[in-house]
Amino acid sequence: MSKNHVYGSIMAGLNEAVDDAKSERPILKRHKVTVEPVRVFEADEVKKIRNSTGMSQKIFASYMGVSDKTVEAWEAGTNHPSGAASRLLSMMEMDKELIRKFPFVSDAREQQRA
């Protein structure tokens, strides 16, 4: 894709947006989206979710992409998960099969059996 084509495509989109903004009636489709706020997880909730996965703190930390100390701090109530970690915890709560659907961490025992 050439630079001129990309530039032209961007300019066409911007011109459509300007035309829409200037018109008395909307020209472009609009979609209203509501994003649920990031939940604050308490220490006991983090531990409950981790226990439901059957993972140790070390394996859970690897799955979450954080350090062992971070999971320890979450479960001690020293720190709270934020951002992406909270979203992932929410997803784990909603879908008990999530860690099986997305096995980012594999069990060494399973690899030995294979």
Q: What is the DSSP letter of 40?
A: P
What are the tokens at 86? 């909270």
Count other Cβ atoms within 10 Å, centred on residue 97.
8
- Three-state DSSP at 38 gives coil
Alpha carbons 34 and 76: distance in angstroms, whole number = 32
- Three-state DSSP at 79 gives coil
What are the tokens at 40? 């604050």
- Per-residue pLDDT tens over the stretch 56-106: 999 999 999 999 999 999 999 999 999 999 999 999 999 989 988 988 877
Q: What global pTM score does this model have?
A: 0.69
Mean pLDDT of 10-25: 89
- The answer to whether the CB of 58 falls within 8 A of the CB of 68 is yes
What are the tokens at 60? 């859970």
Residue 18 makes CB contacts below 8 A (sequence gap 6+) with none
- Three-state DSSP at 71 gives helix
